[in-house]
Amino acid sequence: MEKYAVGLMSGTSLDGIDAALVKIMGSGEKTKVELIDFTNEKLPEDIKDEIRSCCLVDKSNVELVCSLNFKLGYLFAEAVKGVCRKAGFELDRLDFIGSHGQTVFHIPRGYGNFVKSTLQIGEPAVIAYETGCTVVSNFRTMDMAAGGEGAPLVPYTEYLLYRGDRNRALQNIGGIGNVTVLPANCGLDDMYAFDTGPGNMIIDEVVKRLKGLTYDKDGSFAAEGEVNEQLLKELMNIPYIKAAPPKTTGRELFGSQFVDELLIKWGHLRDVDLIATVTAFTAHSIAENYRSFVFPKHKIDEVILGGGGSYNNTLVAMLKKLLPECRVLIQEDLGYSSDAKEAIAFAVLANETLNGNAGNVIGATGAVERVILGNITPGKNYFRRK
């Protein structure tokens, strides 16, 4: 039986709310997905500033988190309406929404008095009320309750949609970089995934500070610069890069405070050289993780890039040079959309939840068992659709 859903994703890069309208047939290993339409709703600058403040221990407070939770709920609801409007699709035909929410803090491993935990905001009750549609949200927490790190969660959907007769590495380059390894003809227990380190997050923040722009379009600034090898070596010595999986990271490590310290020490470099070097850091951190934790297990035939970083031509060229033994592709080479990939994933995960199927991968998150992910917030259509 076919279902219509919208998947929502607002990632650590803060480049907007991705909304993917999809048709889903079946569930589990019989899942088939068709992308109907996609939009990216840009976040207002004041909302971006509030999100950044929420992610910083010295600037965040409960009043800010409380208010922003609802503000984002309204923005997510508008994104659902927007993609349906663009597609000419009536909102009341929608069966459900899968919303990842906006991560404001993530503690994959406890320290001091702080237990492992995670917080994604974007109130699902607001989305459900504004759209009249049932919402599945808060996907990470059940995996963490089961001993996992709560991320990455996209690997299960990649298993459903991308497995085949080749050894594939699916490398997402959003704010953070993460890889899913799909050995040829693999079963669910054969695959694994982890965060490789920074994706676009540091690049975007440096470009914002130095050039007043939101990102390095096509990697043009990086292409003009020269990589500072001393700085690159220092960045590659950050302990996270060499840490063994399972591992996850985010804005708490590679956010604005990271760039503050970077500019204090290395701000004397030419703008384009600094941008080129942090771009190289993303590329080298990906390649280093492959050489340390992937290639010893599998010879990778194809590396398939997704996320905003796949449109950074300089970054892609660096990866091709660093991984000559692999065929490096982007999602569009396979007829998919790099932009829509993660939003589609959360529509698929929501479908699994509503069908009572587990949605995590033990080899990705480190959980002790597979569990059903997410909280269900009924909309007006909930009982009608059951």
Q: Which residues contact 195 (CB under 8 A, 6 or more apart)?
A: 151, 152, 176, 177, 178, 247, 248, 249, 250
Residue 14 annotated as lining a ligand binding site: yes
Residue 292 annotated as lining a ligand binding site: no
Residue 119 annotated as lining a ligand binding site: no
Residue 189 annotated as lining a ligand binding site: no
Residue 21 annotated as lining a ligand binding site: no
Residue 13 annotated as lining a ligand binding site: yes
| Binding-site residue ranges | 11-18
| Binding-site residue ranges for ATP | 11-18
